[in-house]
Every structure is written in C-alpha cells, then in structure tokens.
Amino acid sequence: MKKVKLLILAALAVMMSATSFAADADFPARPDTAIFVNDFAGVLRQSKVIDDSLRAFSKRTTNQIMVITVKDLGDYEPKMYAAELGDRWGIGQAKLDNGLIILIKPKTRDSKGQFALCPGRGLGGALPDVTCKRIVDGKAIPALKKGDYDAAVWAVLKAVMPICAGEISGDEATKKSSGGGGGWIWFVGIIAAVVGGVAYANKRAKQKQALIEANETPEERAARLAAAEKRKKELEAERKKREAEAAAAAAAGATTAKSVREKRQEEEERKRRNAQKFGGGSFDGGGASSDW
C-alpha cells in the first residue's frame, strides 16, 4: 500500500512538472538587455527603427512600451498572454507599473492573426479598455488586414504615445482620429479675442497720453520729462547693481555651480539608466484585442 501511494505521488509530481514546463514553454525568455522590440515571429522589417523610437520615448517619459511578436499563444487569449508575459518580464517600473505591451500573433494559413494592446496597472487610467479597443480596431486591424505589420505598429504608437506622455487624453485621441476640429476653432477664436483686446487697450492708452501732453503747460512738461529721466537713471543703477552682484556670485560660486551641475548630470544619467531597465511592472489583463 505504501508503494502504491509513493507511485501516485510520483505520478502527480511528474504531471505538475510537465504542466509547469508546458506553461513556461508558451512564453519566450526575458531578454538580458532592455530591448523594446522583440520580433520572435520575424514579421517586422523596421524593428531597429521602432526600437530606437521606443527607447527615446522611455528616456523622455520613463514609460516603457514594448512590441512583441510570437508565433503561437498556446491556449491563452491575447490580452491574458500579454499580461502574463508582462508580469514575467516585469515590463514597466516598480510602483509605477507604467508598461504597455503591443502583442502580435501573425496570421497563417492555418490560424487567424491576433493583436492585443495591454497597458500596465499604472497606465490603465490613461488607456481604459474602451480606448484600447478603439485604437486596436481603428488603427491596427486595417493595416494588419493588408499584411503590413510595421504600419500597424506605427499607427498604434502614434495614437498611444501622446496619451502615455500625458499630452492628450484618450478621448482627445479618439476625437483627433475622427477628424473633429471644433476645439481647435474655439481655441483660435479665444486667442484672437485676447490679442484684439490687448491691441485696443494699447491704442486707448496712447490716445490718452497724447491728450495729456497736448494740454499740459511748459512747467508740467518739464517736470514730467525730469521725472522720467530720474526714473530712467534709477532703473539703470539698479540694473548695474544686479549685474555686479551676479558677477560676484558667479565668481565666488563657480566651483559650487560646477559641483551642482555634475551632480545633476549624474542624477539624470541614473534616471536614464533606470528608465531602460525592465523589472517590477505589473499587469492586470486590461486592454483590448482583436482577430483578423
């Protein structure tokens, strides 16, 4: 009886190990270095250019957008595969969870193509599921149906980069893609009104000053010119004093300024290196996917 139990336990252990291995086999190993485009399916012609663009974007914003193509998703739905891979690789920064995955499973003779856009937890507010769905269906799928994988990636990046950088909202991105221009016209109208108001105020001030000068006596004119000259000299003296103080401070603090500048450069370099590291980002399966 004891031998039977041992055999059963051994069989269960083998089955669990095989299941775990199969699950791991569905996901590619995390790259040793920070590569923003991982074309495991070999369908992208512009991998280097896209990678350079995403690397520069990460330096500027710290958000990490990764493009991944795979030949097979196993038994996973596209969004869940992307989320699981994002967690395994740690795309995005710890605590910020600011990763975004663009996942492509190419179309073949025997299987449909699948595309997913999956934001990390920290970008879910800027890229809710409904916005991701509009971007996937409106930007990626039309290009993918033509067989142009590079165009699909660029179209999605053009839509999501301004959102991730906080330059526009998801709703604004949707309005722009649909060609809405009412907001722009309103903005131009406001600017025109402000400029016109300033010009009118300046004109009225000049007219008032001209009227005063036309009616003043010679004594009043002389007093006004003397006051203006005095004020001019006072301003010139203040300017020279500020310049002298600035020169003295610069001479006395040259070494300190250099030290501060070097420390700032070191801090910027540290931030730049950290922005290029993957590790710590998490995903919750949000986003959108579509087949073609």
3-state secondary structure 196-221: HHHHHHHHHHHHHHHHHHHHCCHHHH
β-bridge partners, 69? 39, 104
Q: Is residue 269 part of a domain?
A: no
Which whole number is the average pLDDT over 31-36? 80
Q: Kindly state the percentage of the chain with pLDDT values over 90.
A: 42
Q: Domain containing 283: what range?
A: 24-179+276-291
Between 278 and 6, the more confident residue is: 278
Number of domains in the chain: 1
Per-residue pLDDT at 226 exceeds 90: no
Residue 238 pLDDT: 86
Per-residue pLDDT at 129 exceeds 60: yes
Residue 171 pLDDT: 55
Q: Which of 52, 48, 68 is nearest to 60 (CA)?
A: 52
Over residues 82-100, the pLDDT tens digits come to: 999 999 999 988 888 999 9
176, 168 Cβ separation under 8 angstroms? yes
- Residue 165 belongs to a domain with what CATH number? 3.10.310.50
Report which residue type is found at 201: A
Q: Kindly state the percentage of the chain with pLDDT values over 70.
A: 69
Rounded-to-integer distance, Cα 27 and Cα 47, Å: 20
Q: What is the pTM of this model?
A: 0.59
Q: Is residue 263 part of a domain?
A: no
Q: Is residue 241 part of a domain?
A: no
Q: Is residue 219 part of a domain?
A: no
Over residues 39-75, the pLDDT tens digits come to: 999 999 999 999 999 999 999 998 999 999 999 999 9
Rg for the chain, CA atoms, rounded: 32
Q: Is residue 76 part of a domain?
A: yes
List CB contacts of 23: < 8 A, sequence separation 6 or more.
Answer: 74
Q: Is residue 204 part of a domain?
A: no
Structure tokens at 213: 């000068």
Helix or strand run (H / E) with residue 105: strand 99-105
Q: Is residue 108 part of a domain?
A: yes
